[in-house]
Chain A
């Protein structure tokens, strides 16, 4: 049995009166590729963002490698170094070049020397086909290139898990493929990943487990083939039929 990397215990999140997550108990094991789908407003992004405390849970616990991240004394910054995150809108740093963007955190946090961080960054850029963009500013990159840089920015921290929050939703359709390709390679390299996405064929191809989040709970989860071919939950059936009809 693989080691449990992230565990949520009765995880709850409210925004004011809006009860978004209603007690989620879940585990993500090392090496798993968990894809999270669900209708908009279901709480799937909030769930993902609670895993590295981008959103502060209003109840329950998030346990990462045995450390309760919601405990008051925990050094959340140190824990986040091991949890990479990729955002829908890339959030690259417009005042820094690609290389500076990728080396900022590892060097500032004294995890790598400047030389090592740069060497690693260049190796990662080469892997995702962006080596020639190392000294460009983000405004010179296309959306797909930006998101690939955002992925390798997180990877240069050498995280143990990668969280993807709708990584292709803000992209032009012709650029979705290049980002999914990078993610697929990453999955094959053994990285543990949690991905919120609307890319159903990607989910079926790459995921080890697919979750359906609806109204703040995980309504159903299964292996990709069972999940898509034999859904049980009526809301999931409805959701999948709508998505497939598009």
Chain B
């Protein structure tokens, strides 16, 4: 069978396309909520690590937890983390496995995002903090109103990369039985349907590419908007 006509066959079959759309929906659902969770965790961990040298006593325990978190998550494969979460920690009857996947990828992403955010905050000139404090703003206000807005601009490209990587990494949820875009392609390619894996995999690839391409475009636009006040 010709690859091109195979692709046409998938796009014109409502049955096949419903697998694709549902799979894409799952992929996006997990990616969006996991990246939001990752962003929140990343900001918290970054702020704890940044504030720790100034408040050693109060943040001793949180800092130790954050350090262990980042080390463990970054040091182990995400597929293994997913298996541990699905087959051990959340091996509860009736617990939606999609939520477990969101938690896994969110926690995973948070560890990476925290490091980029930390680097972004540290890259803001110390004079900015001093200027804020000299005006009588508190440390928190200075961070929120002066440092973080500038840090965000610095971290958008790396966070964007992280998001793109996350979308593609979620394809391993097909290993725990979630019908995402990758799993949908596998179903369509099975013997009782097309009996050809190459074509549906190519279709899945087209959709992944499209999502990543659109996201890249959005990231570039956001970056450009935020850069308008920069030194030329």
B149 to A95, Cβ gap below 8 A?
yes
Contacts of B191 in A (CB 8 A): none
Interface SS of B by simple majority:
helix
B76 contacts the other chain (Cβ, under 8 Å)? no
Q: Contacts A89-B127, A139-B230 hold; do A95 and B150 have CB atoms under 8 A apart?
A: yes
Residues of A at the B interface (CB closer than 8 Å) are 52, 54, 77-85, 87, 89, 91-97, 104-105, 108-109, 137-139, 150, 153-154, 157
State A78–B137 Cα separation when bound (angstroms): 8
* Residues in B neighbouring A95, C-beta threshold 8 A: 149-150, 153, 226, 229
B125-A77 in contact (CB<8A): no
Task: Determine if B128 and A93 form an interchain contact, defined as CB atoms under 8 angstroms apart.
Answer: yes
A89 — which chain B residues lie within 8 A by C-beta? 127
Q: Which residues of A contact B132 (CB under 8 A)?
A: 105
Contact A93 B153 (CB under 8 A): no
A209 CA to B135 CA, complexed, in Å: 26
What is the distance, in angstroms, from B224's C-beta to the closest C-beta of chain A? 14
Q: Point out the residues of chain B lying under 8 angstroms from A105, CB to CB.
A: 132, 135-137
The answer to whether A109 and B137 touch across the interface, beta carbons within 8 angstroms, is yes
By CB atoms of chain B within 10 A, which of A52, A79, A96, A105 has the most? Answer: A105
Inter-subunit contact A80/B134 (CB<8 Å) = yes
Cα–Cα, bound, A108→B145 (Å)? 9
Task: Write the nearest CB–CB distance from B130 to chain A, whole angstroms.
Answer: 6
Instruction: Name 16 A/B residue pairs within 8 A (Cβ), A-sorted.
Output: A54-B134, A80-B135, A84-B134, A85-B131, A87-B127, A91-B127, A93-B146, A95-B150, A95-B226, A97-B229, A104-B135, A104-B145, A105-B132, A108-B137, A109-B136, A157-B135
Q: Which of A78, A80, A96, A138 contacts B133 (CB 8 A)?
A: A80
Q: Chain B residues near A87: list those with CB within 8 A.
A: 127, 130-131, 134
Output the least CB separation between B116 and chain A (Å).
19
Contacts of B230 in A (CB 8 A): 94, 139
For A93, list chain B residues within 8 Å (CB).
128, 131, 146, 150
- Chain B residues with CB under 8 Å of chain A are 125, 127-128, 130-138, 141, 145-146, 149-150, 153, 226, 228-232
Q: With both chains docked as a complex, state the minimum distance between the C-beta of A43 and any C-beta of chain B, in angstroms.
A: 18
Contacts of A84 in B (CB 8 A): 134-135
* A202, chain B: closest CB distance, angstroms: 22
Q: A91-B125, A108-B141 are in contact. Are A85 and B134 (CB under 8 A)?
A: yes
Further 18 A-B residue pairs, CB within 8 A, beyond A104-B137, A104-B145, A139-B230: A54-B134, A77-B136, A80-B133, A82-B136, A84-B134, A85-B131, A89-B127, A91-B127, A91-B130, A93-B146, A94-B150, A94-B229, A95-B226, A104-B135, A105-B132, A109-B136, A139-B231, A139-B232
Q: B229 near A78 (CB under 8 angstroms)? A: no
Q: Report the minimal beta-carbon distance from B133 to chain A, rounded to whole angstroms.
A: 7
A157 x B232 contact (CB < 8 A): no
Beyond A137-B229, A138-B229, A139-B230, whether A91 also contacts B128 by CB under 8 A is yes
Top 3 A-B residue pairs of the complex, sorted by shortest distance between their CB atoms: A81-B136, A91-B131, A105-B135
Distance to closest chain A CB from B105 (angstroms): 31
A94 to B131, CA, bound (A): 12
Nearest chain B CB to A109 CB, angstrom units? 6
In the bound complex, do residue B138 and residue A77 qualify as a contact, i.e. CB atoms below 8 Å apart? yes
Give Cα A163–Cα B135 distance, bound, in whole angstroms: 12
Q: Which residue of A lies closest to B134 (CB)?
A: A85
| Inter-subunit contact A137/B228 (CB<8 Å) | yes
In the complex, which residues of chain B have a beta carbon less than 8 angstroms from the beta carbon of A79? 136
CB distance from B204 to the nearest CB of A (A): 40
Closest to A92 in B: B131
With A87-B127, A91-B127, A93-B146 given, is the CB distance from A153 to B229 under 8 Å? no
Chain A hits for B153, CB < 8 A: 95
Whether the pair B130, A80 counts as a contact (CB closer than 8 A) is no
Neighbouring A residues of B226 by C-beta, 8 Å: 95
- Contacting pair A154 B128 (CB below 8 A): no
Q: Which residues of B contact A104 (CB under 8 A)?
A: 135, 137, 145-146
> Are A54 and B229 closer than 8 Å at their CB atoms?
no
How far, in whole Å, are A108 and B143 apart by their CA atoms in the complex? Answer: 13
A138: B residues at CB distance < 8 A: 229
Q: Specify which chain B residues have a CB less than 8 angstroms from the CB of A157 in the assembled complex.
A: 135-136
> Knowing A95-B153, A95-B229 touch, does A54 contact B130 (C-beta < 8 A)?
yes
B53 to chain A, nearest CB (A): 14
* Chain B residue, CB-CB nearest to A104: B145
